[in-house]
Structure 1
Amino acid sequence: MDKLQKLAIGSIFVGIVVLGLKYVAFRITGSVALYSDALESIINVITAIAALIAIRVSATPADSNHPYGHHKAEYFAAVIEGVLVILAALSIMRQAYFGFLEPKPLDAPLQGVLINGFAGVINAIWSWILIRSGRKMRSPALLADGRHLLADVVTSAGVLLGLGLAILTGWHVLDPALAGLVALHILWSGWGLMKESVGGLMDEAMPKDALDRVRDLISANADGAIEAHDLRTRHAGRMTFIEFHLVVPGAMSVTDAHDICDRLERALKDEDKHAQVTIHVEPDDKAKHAGIVVL
């Protein structure tokens, strides 16, 4: 079992623990705002399970039906997570509406705040671990899970602050008002997750700074060639696909042209070990003089 899968299993365990704490906080207080926080934790557990499944599928080697591998499976988990987050937000809005109609005083508010705060600290630590690991290992599913947890931490902090004000002032309407604000924040978070994941499913190109780095590496490691053009890139989970045409002198031997391609591939993979490089070699009469000049 690799590190990605271990982290995904860890997310399920942490999610269950945090859910239990937040549910206890909700039950002893009857707070609509704490209900919203607990409901988001249910989504955390479900999406952690989805992330684990997606990571396992994405690790499956390429086969005859999927010659480019199964790396995009992680994007599907992130999209599912976004959908579930939005559904949770709509449910919270419903509860907030009823809370506005009939505001109620909170039971045992201090105990509930302390329990919920402890759960928030656990989430904060784990979200930092997931985001750091997701970026390092380039896992969309792990990164989406970490960002969702971070959003949960932010909303939990807002809820606790608002509940503190409600306790001090006696304004019971603050409880459903906070739940409504949490729902809006969760909606925005879910939209962000879906937007980023759809970009991966649509074969979005590398960011400009990364693309410029690829151009520099091609230019610096293509001695003997004339130019490179029609550079195309895309992401699929942890994998980066890089394709371009390399123009060489017409009289160059196949062996020499192949050596240049090997050198380019090594340089690009040294920069990104998950890069899959495809180079199409062309003679000098195919030069466009509009690509990366390497001569």
Structure 2
Amino acid sequence: MRTRSLKKFMYLSIAAAVVTIGLKFIAYFKTGSMGFFSDALESFVNLFAAIVALILLHISEKPADEGHEYGHGKAEYFSSAIEGALILIAAFSIIYTSIPRIINPQPLENLGIGTLFSVGAALVNLLAGLTLIRNGKKHKSMILEADGRHLMTDVWTSAGVIVGVLVVQFTGILVLDPIIAIIVALNIVYTGYKLISRSASGLMDAAIPQEEIRQITDYFDSLKSKHIDYHSLLTRQAGHRKFISFHLLVPGKWTVKEGHDFAEEIEQHIENMFDETATVTTHIEPIEDPLSMNDIKIDRINYSEL
């Protein structure tokens, strides 16, 4: 069910890209503005990125199988990295195509009608981008959020181009058209960098966010009054799913069933913290036995001491 609900958002992104390509190229052909041309070029990147994201979303939602026992969630990081790379390509393409216009400025025509088409395209991207970001956060999907942020960079690009065209219209300084296009391109480079950096971190098995780790450790701390402790808390994020493991220290006099039942209760509580998008693994040890703490020295963070 989750797959269907998320795929429809990617179809929205593809549709938005097709519509904006048409609107922006009309704006370019009507005006001859390099800014409008650069903006239209980025929408082609949006379309390709949305198609790639849809494919990788399909892969990431596949259930675990014999060859991928932890699922396919990391496919989301590849999508985010590709989106970031495409944003950088679009930015540098804008710069490359704008430089000749700085050297040889060209007159612009029909700026009023061209601006209206560009504004329409920006509104389409704004609505689609906000929808993707909101649902990406809601469903903890990096693919949706990355594609939404990609569309939002397009909105900023369009806004910058529109301002540039209006400035050219009122001042008659033609060279401002390509200069503003370059400034907008440099601004969206940062968004591409952030997406690529985030993907690299995820592919290197980054821990879950510190505030989420704090939620877990606060819960463990509340159990200490029951003579319960923990150590060797390890976490990693794979797409929308979190993997959490820890050693649970319980009274040695407990039976195996008592320890198991208590561990099941704790695992369920932690899974509920994250809307059941967490896989929790527990190792039970007797709290009185010093040997239980031996593995704490094996290149691990002991959050209970932080």
Count of residues paired in the alignment: 293
Q: Deviation at 1:224?
A: 4.8
Q: Does 1:98 align with 2:100?
A: yes
Q: Does 1:276 align with 2:274?
A: no
AA in 2 matched with 1:238: H
Contact 1:222 1:264 in 2 (8 A): no
**Alpha-carbon deviations, 1:91-113, whole Å to 9, x = none?**
11111111111001102111111
AA in 2 matched with 1:58: S
Contact 2:230 2:304 in 1 (8 A): yes
What secondary structure sits across from 2:167 in the alignment?
Answer: helix
**Alpha-carbon deviations, 1:110-162, whole Å to 9, x = none?**
11111001110111111111100000001001000001111111121121112
What secondary structure sits across from 2:63 in the alignment?
Answer: coil
CA distance in 2, matches of 1:204, 1:55: 20
CA distance in 2, matches of 1:274, 1:152: 31
| Aligned position for 2:166 | 164
Q: Deviation at 1:219?
A: 3.2
Contact 1:234 1:241 in 2 (8 A): yes
1:131 pairs with one of 130, 133, 136: 133
Q: 1:291 to 1:133 in 2, by over 3 A?
A: closer
Contact 1:23 1:35 in 2 (8 A): yes
Q: Deviation at 1:27?
A: 1.4
1:54 pairs with one of 53, 56, 62: 56
Which structure 2 residues correspond to residues 7-156 of structure 1 after superposition, within 5 A? 7-156=9-158
Contact 1:36 1:182 in 2 (8 A): no
AA in 2 matched with 1:13: A
Contact 1:203 1:234 in 2 (8 A): yes
CA distance in 2, matches of 1:257, 1:190: 48
What secondary structure sits across from 1:100 in the alignment?
Answer: helix
Structure 2: tracts of 5 or more residues without a match: 297-301
What secondary structure sits across from 1:172 in the alignment?
Answer: coil
Q: 1:50 to 1:222 in 2, by over 3 A?
A: farther
What secondary structure sits across from 1:2 in the alignment?
Answer: helix
Q: 1:223 to 1:238 in 2, by over 3 A?
A: farther
Q: Does 1:229 align with 2:225?
A: no
Q: Deviation at 1:257?
A: 0.6
| Aligned position for 2:184 | 182
AA in 2 matched with 1:262: E
Q: Deviation at 1:222?
A: 7.4
Q: Deviation at 1:30?
A: 1.1
CA distance in 1, matches of 2:101, 2:258: 75
Tell me how large the CA RMSD over aligned residues is.
Answer: 1.7
Contact 1:19 1:38 in 2 (8 A): yes
Q: 1:93 to 1:50 in 2, by over 3 A?
A: same
Q: TM-score, normalised by structure 1?
A: 0.95
Contact 1:124 1:150 in 2 (8 A): yes
1:203 pairs with one of 189, 202, 205: 205
Contact 1:227 1:287 in 2 (8 A): no
Identity level (%) = 41
AA in 2 matched with 1:199: S
Range that drifts further, 282-291 or 117-126: 282-291
Q: 1:223 to 1:268 in 2, by over 3 A?
A: farther
CA distance in 2, matches of 1:201, 1:125: 30
